[in-house]
Amino acid sequence: MRMRVGLCLLAGMWGAAAMGQQDTQMKQRDVEEMKKEAAPPAPLKAPATLEPAHSPNANAVYQALRQRTVNGPAFNVKDVTIRRDAGVFTLSNGTVYLYGEVNGQVTGAVFIGEGTLDVTPPSAMERKQLKNVMKTEVLAQKFSSAMFAFTDGTAEELKKAAGTTVAGSGPAVGLGKEMQELFRVDLKYDLEERLLEDVAREGSAKGSGEFFVAVLKNGTFSKRLIYTVDPHGAIGVAPEEVGLLTSGDGGYDVTLGFGSEAQRGRQSALSNRAFSVPQQTIDVTIEHGGKLTASAVTLVTAKDNGVQILPLNLFPTLRVSGVWGTGGEALDFIQEDKKDDADLAVLLKQPLAAGESIQLTTKYSGKDAVLDMGGGNFFLVARENWYPNMRGDFGNYAQYTMTFHTPKEIQVVATGDRVTDKEDGKQRLSVWQSMAPMPVAGFNLGNFKVDESERGKGTQVVSYANTALADNYNGLANSGLMVGGLSTTGMLKQATSEGEAAIQIYTDFFGSLPYDHVSLTQQTACNFGQSWPTLVYLPICYFWDDTIKHEIGLDNDPTYWKVVTAHEVAHQWWGQTVGFSSYRDQWMSEGFADFSASLFLMETRKDMKDYRDFWALLRKRLLEKNAQGMRPIDAGSVVMGARVDTSKTGGVYQDLIYGKGAFILHMLQMLYWNPKEGNAQFKLAMHDFVNTYRNKAATTEEFKAAMEKDMPASADLNKNHKLNWFFDAWVYGTEIPKYTVTSEFSKQGDDTIVHFQVTQSGVSDQFQMLVPVYIETEDKRGIFIGRATVFGSTTVEKTVNLGKLPFVPKRIVVNYNYDLLSD
């Protein structure tokens, strides 16, 4: 253990312990001004005439790939090594069976024999994940059979190593079939569509793609391993390019994920997208019963040269009847059975050059994407894929114009501005337009009662509750238990005022929204809320009073109902105004939203009880073992995102990503806080961050850089203007320190002298922390006196003359404001 003593005490700050005091007022961006800057382009127009549509999956090369089988040459191999990024396949002894050619290319092989896959993960974080799932930090997995699919030079490499020729395909055909089923039925990933992206590329040379996937099996080993290298993002970890999935109980664990050797050096993981979608114009009809019929005009701009196949995301039960290009020419498209690998992809006639655009018109319809719940309640199941969206994540910002046709009594509340709302024969017609580029578009439907806050200069709140109950709550309504009735409209005013307060508080802390209103809408689901740009879905149970919540057993988590609106409104900043680039960055969306909710509790309550209870609960959930015996805090770092949930760790995602994510921003807030200016420096940094990434996605490293730009000298622990020490410890790391504090007070004339020790334990030598130190007074106030610098598991000791104190000190404490996550 290394001994290191350091303490920096700030001078002259008695009595300013309450956060939020004396903050300088930030200059706010004007909403109208921002709207003008981001003025939406004119809606896209579908071509006047359309050629007869092609049928789905009609493309001949695609069909050939879909039907390809293991009927190529077969040969014995000995000690062949195939290296694909961090994965090294050794085929020690066995037989290789090649697939037949499609478009002159071999795109698959089966190996039966003795082989090994060795993978050394390129980061400590990934080694830890491998250990969580497979009990080893370096993979050396023996296999007895391997199925490969590829567009790279694998076939040529194997042929070069060919030994004696083998007749027939033996068991290889069955293994090939097994791989096919695995991708189609279990993973719902259209492998042949991915192969087609490279194989169909005009003039593409043999093996010129870079896609590679291997499925490994072993007779004595129940797991299957799926190792992928894909420059467009590997399965399960896109946009990262290398991934390893392992089969667990009833599903797959994402065991490894990292950028390829080339990608690791790149600025942003987003750069591997082949195209972007800057604009969408959608016309959609929703009938009683929930059937949705739509026509979407989608502007696609290529980022790479040679883009010819456009993988898209459309809900599987929304069946496409045709796709057309800019001039109305019918295009080939892929959409397999809704139960299988049904993702939509469009095949262009000509490849696009980088920067070139095409306008797609897609007609589709189907049930189950929207559910008619009865009583004028509708539930949108296909939240982000009711229209042909980009696949994978929320980093694509687009401008949307949406026209809705609904039954006359059904209102639409959608993302963006309502520009038209009128009766149109037997239907209601409403048109919505985004007032800024948005990462997703969506809507809620219902027969609503409305409440709205005053329209001032900032962002207005408009709340919507359904006038009648959905059928699934009829049992409850008729149970006779509900003294107060189950009407939800009584809560409208409270929703509005909570929304208003939240927007005011967050605007002060983080800067203005680019939206002039936010709609808070009731949804029929009871147990979750969701936030799309300008549109919040609040759970119906939020709209019921405490008596009813009690009667239906919803009061075991009272904190949830206190912050659900505040959390969802906070997503207007975190996730919408500032998006997250990939699953690695999602902790910022959820963690920052939870942190924001704590600000809401602090600023809207007479005392700090709810605020303190909130943080105490987050901490408890992080440190409690789950059914698998795993504490969320130990499962992985926040940048693992959803991957922290595996068959070995159990469900830890919510507690870790939300809870620790919130603590991270809270600890930064306290590092930036000082008694003179309160949160001024923190607000400055957060405003800067929002201003820089408004209507864009940000990465964790970009957030770090924004915080470093406005870092106070007191947080510059290593005197290098970097927050590496903090991010290494809390964002990328998984350690959690424990603190013990002892203190003695004595008098020297009128002055009070304190001698105290702060001991940090349970962490490695690399773990550095600036520990906020407080005096607890006799009357239980906490008064900030400075920060102790503690390196590793050591003790900091100090004697300080506190001068003449206007209060009676009791002891020195840390973590007075839950500003330190500790064991």
Q: Could you tell me the smallest distance in angstroms from the CB atom of residue 594 to Zn ion?
A: 8
In the complex with Zn ion, which residue's Cβ is closer, 332 or 590? Answer: 590
Instruction: Tell me the window of 200-208, 555-563, 586-594, 605-613 that interacts with Zn ion (CB under 5 A).
Output: 586-594
Side-chain half-sphere of 75: how many Cα atoms within 13 Å? Answer: 15
Alpha carbons 238 and 278: distance in angstroms, whole number: 20
DSSP β-bridge partners for residue 82: 89
Q: Between 238 and 588, name the residue whose CB sits nearer to Zn ion.
A: 588
For the CB of residue 654, give the shortest distance to Zn ion in the complex, in Å.
9
DSSP 463-498: EEEESS--GGGHHHHTTS--TT---SGGGHHHHHHH
Tokens of 647: 């068959």
Cβ distance to Zn ion smaller for residue 436 or 657: 657
Query: What DSSP string runs through 266-293?
Result: SS-GGGG-SEEEEEEEEEEEE-TT--EE
Q: Pick the closer one to Zn ion by CB: 567 or 798.
A: 567
Q: Which is nearer to Zn ion, 97 or 592 (CB)?
A: 592
Of the pair 686, 771, the CB lying nearest Zn ion is at 686
First-residue to last-residue Cα distance in the chain: 19
Q: Answer whether the bond into residue 231 is a cis peptide, omega within 30°.
A: no
The count of chain residues that interact with Zn ion, using the rule CB under 5 A, is 2
State in angstroms the smallest separation of the CB of 146 from Zn ion.
41
Q: 806 pairs with which residues across the strands?
A: none
- Using left for φ > 0, alpha for ψ between -120 and 50, and beta otherwise, residue 690 falls in alpha
Amino acid at 583: Y
Secondary structure (3-state) at 247 = strand
| Part of the chain binding Zn ion (CB under 5 A), chosen from 76-84, 323-331, 585-593, 802-810 | 585-593
**Measured at the alpha carbon of residue 106, what is the angle toward residues 102 and 107, in degrees to the nearest 5?**
90
Write down the least CB distance from residue 643 to Zn ion, Å. Answer: 18
**Total residue count of the chain as it appears in this document:** 823
Stretch that binds Zn ion, among 17-25, 583-591, 737-745, 762-770 (CB under 5 A): 583-591
CB of 529 to Zn ion, least distance (A): 7
Assigned token pair, 555: 């009061």
Whether the CB-CB separation of 444 and 464 falls below 8 Å is answered with yes
CB of 563 to Zn ion, least distance (A): 10
Measure the CA–CA gap between 155 and 463, rounded to whole angstroms: 60
Closer residue to Zn ion in complex, CB, 281/576: 576
CA 426 – CA 419 distance, rounded (Å): 20
Would you call 171 helix, strand, or coil by DSSP?
A: coil
Q: Rounded to the nearest whole angstrom, what is the least distance from the CB of residue 575 to Zn ion in the complex?
A: 7
Among positions 331-370, residues that touch Zn ion (CB under 5 A) are: none
Q: Which is nearer to Zn ion, 277 or 593 (CB)?
A: 593
Collapsing DSSP to helix, strand or coil, 634 comes out as helix
Q: How far apart are CA 111 and CA 539, in angstroms?
A: 52
Nearer to Zn ion, 148 or 600 (CB): 600
Shortest CB 659 distance to Zn ion, Å: 12
Q: Regarding beta strands 275-286 and 399-407, do their DSSP bridges make them parallel or antiparallel, or are they unpaired?
A: parallel
Q: Considering the complex, state which of residue 221 and residue 528 has its C-beta at the smaller distance from Zn ion.
A: 528
Residue closer to Zn ion by CB (options 107, 596) is 596
Q: How far is the CB of 657 from Zn ion (least distance, A)?
A: 9
Site string for Zn ion, 787-816 (x = CB under 5 A): ------------------------------
3-state secondary structure 374-406: ECCEEEECCCCCCCCEECCCCCCCEEEEEEEEE
| Contact present, 264 and 275 (Cβ < 8 Å) | no
Peptide bond into 122 cis (omega under 30): no
Distance (Å) of CA 752 to CA 342, 618, 809, 813: 73, 36, 9, 17
CB of 568 to Zn ion, least distance (A): 7
Q: Which residue has the tokens 């900032």?
A: 458
Residue (343 or 590) nearer to Zn ion, CB = 590
Nearer to Zn ion, 109 or 593 (CB): 593
DSSP assignment of 744-759: EEEEETTEEEEEEEEE
Residues 592, 691, 355: CA angle, nearest 5 degrees: 105
Residue 85 or 384 having the CB closest to Zn ion: 384
Q: For residues 112 and 563, which CB has a smaller minimum distance to Zn ion in the complex?
A: 563
- Interhelix angle for 680-693 vs 492-510, to 10°? 100
- Smallest distance from the beta carbon of 593 to Zn ion, in angstroms? 5
CB of 528 to Zn ion, least distance (A): 9
Give least dist CB 192 to Zn ion, A.
Answer: 36
Give the footprint of Zn ion on residues 589-648 (CB under 5 A): 590, 593
Please give the torsion angle defined by the CA atoms of residues 712, 715, 721 and 727, in that order, rounded to the nearest 10 degrees.
Answer: -130
Q: Which of 464, 587 has the CB closer to Zn ion?
A: 587
Structure tokens given for 183 = 């991708």
Instruction: Output 197 or 590, the one with its CB closest to Zn ion.
Output: 590
Site for Zn ion in 373-412 (CB under 5 A): none
Least CB distance from residue 595 to Zn ion, whole Å?
11
Cβ 621 to Zn ion shortest distance, Å: 15
Which residue from 351, 357, 272, 340 is spatially nearest to 307, judged by alpha carbons?
A: 351
The piece of 178-186, 191-199, 584-592, 629-637 that touches Zn ion (CB under 5 A) is 584-592
Angle at 534 between CA 530 and CA 539, to 5 degrees: 30
Least CB distance to Zn ion at residue 567 (A): 6
Residue 95 pairs in a beta bridge with 76, 112
Gap between the Cα atoms of 464 and 23, Å rounded:
35
* Residue among 593 and 715 whose Cβ is closer to Zn ion: 593
CB of 693 to Zn ion, least distance (A): 18
615 CB-contact burial (10 Å; exposed 0-12 / middle 13-18 / buried 19+): buried
Shortest spacing between CB 679 and Zn ion, in angstroms: 23
CA distance 163 to 94: 10
Alpha helix ranges (H) inside 718-813: 724-726
Which residues between 248 and 307 bind Zn ion (CB under 5 A)?
none
Measured N-to-C along each axis, helices 492-510 and 586-604 cross at an angle, to the nearest 10 degrees, of 110
- Closest alpha carbon to 31 in 521, 497, 514, 510: 514
Binding residues for Zn ion, rule: CB under 5 A, are 590, 593
